[in-house]
């Protein structure tokens, strides 16, 4: 319990530190506090577009739940759309607290509410994430092709990081970076030496691997593959749409088009992949950098990143994640009793 609490504390602290460093790097002539800045960001936004973005995120999770139902069907598992969506939201909620534990939480939620072993459930979740990684790589390829001039121009300009390093040294922030790296190494070591990773008994390993493989192999027997592909495309289109529609919420970004939305979406997704709470700090940094390609000033870009992060990662995920916990709190059905 103490070790787990320490890992969680380190994880959250890293995210808060990264977020604070990004905030400190922004122009702040009025000396606004971080809280005041957040309130100001939401105060200047058009909330209609924030609501549309939040609704798009939830719709993407419904499509993800529908796709998950198709993965589970070959395993003889039927789960209601409500419970499948709830398990996904619980996974997102868990990722805000424990690094990369959402997949385990999602598999645990499913095995606790449907007649399926944890190992098989985890296999379907891993398959879901593998598909996401493939989609992200394809989107990255398309983004680089369509916006090659902007992207390569950015790297040409920023490849030499010596100037930024000198600025950070002058700001006496170099030691914070060293501390962040040390925390990351420590957190990674502690997490990968947990009991879950160190299954010692051969029997447990065999059962785990067999169940995991069966879950992964479910894709071979999926019915209606065209529908499965449609759900996948819908998920990622809505992710892109969220980044694009948020442009309309701010005067500084409302003129940006779909290509800019694609660039910001892709680089922002890379920031979310970083092991911090919901991509806190890392998402902000990459969203700001990608918006700079289109001449958006750092302050406005930081506002955009704040609106996206706090609307989705904080407000929407926490709200629906808690509701998901309530939905999944019911009793697990017995084998052969039908849909969970």
Cα dihedral value 49, 16, 139, 303, nearest 10? 30
DSSP string of 62-123?
A: HHHHHHHHHHHGGGT----HHHHHHHHHHHHHHHTTSTT-HHHHHHHHHHTTSSS-HHHHHH
Given this model, what pLDDT does residue 3 score? 55
Given this model, what pLDDT does residue 337 score? 44
pTM metric for this prediction? 0.77
DSSP string of 206-267?
A: HHHHHHHHHHHGGGGG-S-HHHHHHHHHHHHHHHHHHHHHHHTTSTTTTT--HHHHHHHHHH
Given this model, what pLDDT does residue 63 score? 97
Q: Which two tokens stand for residue 213?
A: 């493989």
**Do residues 246 and 308 make contact, with C-beta atoms less than 8 angstroms apart?**
yes
Q: Which of 16, 20, 99, 95 is nearest to 275 (CA)?
A: 99
Given this model, what pLDDT does residue 120 score? 77
Backbone angles phi, psi at 291, to 5 degrees: -70, -25
User: What Å distances lie between residue 134 and 58, 127, 233, CA to CA?
Assistant: 22, 11, 12
End-to-end Cα spacing for the chain: 32
Overall size of the chain counted in residues: 340
DSSP-based three-state secondary structure for 156: helix
42's CB contacts (< 8 A; 6+ apart) are 306, 307, 310
DSSP-based three-state secondary structure for 198: coil
Q: Which two tokens stand for residue 308?
A: 């996206």
How confident is the model over 198-253, as pLDDT tens digits?
444 444 444 445 555 555 556 667 788 899 999 999 999 999 999 999 999 999 99
57's CB contacts (< 8 A; 6+ apart) are 238, 242, 312, 316
Backbone angles phi, psi at 177, to 5 degrees: -65, -40
Buried b (16+ CB within 10 A) or exposed e, 30-62: eeeeeeebbeebeeebeeebbebbbebbbebbb
CA distance 338 to 325: 21
User: What Å distances lie between residue 241 and 59, 87, 120, 155, CA to CA?
Assistant: 11, 24, 33, 26
Q: What angle do CA 180, 181, 185 make, to 5 degrees?
A: 120
Q: Which of 97, 107, 99 is nearest to 128 (CA)?
A: 107
Given this model, what pLDDT does residue 6 score? 56
User: What Å distances lie between residue 15 and 58, 205, 299, CA to CA?
Assistant: 24, 33, 20
CA distance 260 to 238: 15
- Tell me the pLDDT of the chain (340 aa) as tens digits: 555 555 556 556 666 666 666 767 666 666 777 788 888 889 889 999 999 999 999 999 999 999 999 988 887 888 899 999 999 999 998 888 776 677 888 888 888 877 777 777 877 888 888 888 888 889 988 998 888 888 777 666 655 544 554 554 454 455 555 555 665 565 555 554 554 444 444 444 444 455 555 555 566 677 888 999 999 999 999 999 999 999 999 999 999 999 999 999 998 888 777 666 677 778 888 888 899 889 999 889 989 999 998 999 889 999 999 999 898 886 555 444 445 6
């Amino acid at each position: 319990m103490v070790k787990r609490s320490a890992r969680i504390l380190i994880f959250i602290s890293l995210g808060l530190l990264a977020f604070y460093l990004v905030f400190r790097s922004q122009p702040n002539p009025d000396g606004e506090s971080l809280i005041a800045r957040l309130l100001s960001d939401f105060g200047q936004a058009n909330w209609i577009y924030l609501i549309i973005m939040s609704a798009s995120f939830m719709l993407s999770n419904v499509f993800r739940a529908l796709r998950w139902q198709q993965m589970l069907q070959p395993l003889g598992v039927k789960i209601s759309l409500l419970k499948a969506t709830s398990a996904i939201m619980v996974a997102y909620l868990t990722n805000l607290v424990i690094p990369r534990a959402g997949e385990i939480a999602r598999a645990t939620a499913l095995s606790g509410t449907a007649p399926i072993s944890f190992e098989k459930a985890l296999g379907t979740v891993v398959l879901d994430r593998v598909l996401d990684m493939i989609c992200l790589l394809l989107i990255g390829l398309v983004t680089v092709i369509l916006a090659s001039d902007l992207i390569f121009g950015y790297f040409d300009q920023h490849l030499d990081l010596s100037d930024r390093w000198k600025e950070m040294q002058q700001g006496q922030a170099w030691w914070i970076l060293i501390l962040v790296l040390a925390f990351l190494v420590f957190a990674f070591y502690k997490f990968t030496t947990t009991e879950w990773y160190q299954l010692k008994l051969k029997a447990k390993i065999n059962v785990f691997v067999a169940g995991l493989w069966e879950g992964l192999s479910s894709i071979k027997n999926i019915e209606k593959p065209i529908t499965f592909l449609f759900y996948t495309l819908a998920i990622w289109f809505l992710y892109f749409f969220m980044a694009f529609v948020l442009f309309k919420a701010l005067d500084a970004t409302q003129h940006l088009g779909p290509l800019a939305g694609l660039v910001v979406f892709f680089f922002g997704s890379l920031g979310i992949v970083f092991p911090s709470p919901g991509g806190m700090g890392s998402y902000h940094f990459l969203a700001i950098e990608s918006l700079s390609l289109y001449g958006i000033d750092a302050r406005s870009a930081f506002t955009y990143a704040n609106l996206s992060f706090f609307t989705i990662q904080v407000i929407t995920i926490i709200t629906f994640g808690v509701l998901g916990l309530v939905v999944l709190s019911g009793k697990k059905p017995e084998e052969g009793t039908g849909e969970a």
